[in-house]
Amino acid sequence: MQLSQVLDVVEALHRAAEHPDVTDITRYGRDSEPGGQSPGGVRVWYRSGSSLMLWGAVPPRDAKPVPLPDEMPPLRLRAARGLVFAHQLLDVARPEQFSGWELCRQSGCEVPVAAALRVTARDGSVVYLRGTSACGQGAEPEQDPYPEYQIPEGVHARHSGR
């Protein structure tokens, strides 16, 4: 499976999720393979002006799976929060093109929660998505402004063929 196909699914899931904190979702980058000068990715913009980029990365050396945290990381950790949210979207949608997905960490690399989201396609290919965040003009809210948000059932129906 190509990076662009994984990004198509990730972008569609973020759009279908209709999260009230999201103001825009865009695609960027020209590279269809990880490791180039302009890696392909999906950028999610938030009301605070900050953004999350989920982009195709070269597989980290000795990547080890890490469990999904019990709680969503705080807003100030947008990259970690974005990786967890993408994992949750995949858990709900269960896209038939993918056989699995997991958060992973690289030995010796200290990051909150995870370094990447490893997506395994049904054809056996693997794509790693890294999360990077950029802050906006102001600070992130201390408290989640949408604590009651739930991923809509339509996310599952749209990607399972129902």
Confidence of residue 159 (pLDDT cuts 50, 70, 90): low
The string of pLDDT tens digits covering residues 1-19 is 899 999 999 999 999 999 9
Burial 78-116 (b: 16+ CB within 10 A, else e): bbbbbbbbbbbbbebbebeebeebbbbbbeeeebebbbb
Half-sphere exposure of 119 (CA within 13 A, CB side): 31
Confidence of residue 74 (pLDDT cuts 50, 70, 90): very high
Question: Taking the model in full, what pTM does it have?
Answer: 0.92
The string of pLDDT tens digits covering residues 105-141 is 887 777 888 889 999 999 999 999 999 999 877 778 8
The string of pLDDT tens digits covering residues 77-104 is 999 999 999 999 999 999 999 999 999 9
pLDDT at 141: 87
Q: Are 116 and 83 in contact (CB under 8 A)?
A: yes
Residue among 79, 153, 137 at smallest CA distance from 112: 79
Confidence of residue 158 (pLDDT cuts 50, 70, 90): low
Residue among 24, 19, 6, 11 at smallest CA distance from 152: 19
Average pLDDT over every residue of 62-67: 90
Average pLDDT over every residue of 56-64: 84
